[in-house]
């Protein structure tokens, strides 16, 4: 059995960690089918948080929170974090978050049959 791994990395100056939380507020189907991708504004590579084509459907846990394989993204305090939700039922929504030390941002979106709340909690890595 062979596997292929694509590995991309970059040095992040003045880094903050963004812990991503996604909560389903309203949905047609109970489970999420689609893709959830993160990226930093200056780094050209997407970071796949979830892809139901490969990982299966994403079931909301307690409090309707989606449990993704990855939740923490590092970005420079001088950049923005872009989160893109693409529902399999149609609809793509991208939200831009600006890092803030020791704070959080929330944004409500409608994407396909889903109404979701995206939350990013910021913590300092180095300054």
Total domain count, the chain: 1
Per-residue pLDDT at 31 exceeds 80: no
pLDDT of 56 strictly over 80? no
Confidence band (pLDDT; 50, 70, 90) for 81? very high
pLDDT at 55 over 80: no
pLDDT digits (tens, 9 = 90+) for 63-79: 677 778 788 998 998 99
pLDDT of residue 2: 85
Q: Does 51 reside within a domain?
A: yes
Q: Report d(CA 36, CA 125) in Å as an integer.
A: 24
Does residue 18 form part of some domain?
no
Residue 103 lies in a domain: yes
63: left (phi over 0), alpha (psi -120 to 50) or beta: left
Domain annotation covers residue 74: yes
Could you tell me if residue 39 is inside a domain?
Answer: yes
| Mean pLDDT over each residue of the chain, to the nearest integer | 84
pLDDT at 19 over 90: yes
Domain encompassing residue 47: 25-124
Q: Does residue 2 sit within a domain?
A: no
How far apart CA 90 and CA 114 sit, in angstroms, is 10
Residue 61, judged by CB atoms within 10 A of its CB (0-12, 13-18, 19+), counts as exposed
Closest listed residue to residue 64, CA positions, set 19, 34, 30, 35: 30
* Residue 1 included in any domain: no
Domain contains 55: yes
């Amino acid at each position: 059995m062979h596997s292929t791994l694509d590995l991309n990395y970059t040095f992040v100056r003045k880094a903050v960690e963004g812990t991503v939380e996604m909560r389903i507020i309203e949905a047609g189907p109970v489970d999420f089918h689609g893709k959830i991708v993160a990226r930093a504004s200056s780094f050209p590579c997407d970071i796949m948080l979830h892809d139901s084509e490969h990982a299966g459907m994403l079931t909301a846990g307690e409090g309707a929170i989606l449990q993704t394989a990855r939740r923490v993204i590092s970005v420079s305090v001088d950049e923005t974090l872009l989160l893109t939700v693409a529902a399999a039922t149609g609809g793509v929504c991208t939200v831009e978050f600006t890092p803030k030390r020791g704070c959080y941002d929330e944004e409500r979106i409608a994407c396909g049959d889903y109404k979701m709340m995206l939350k990013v909690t910021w913590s300092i890595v180095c300054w």
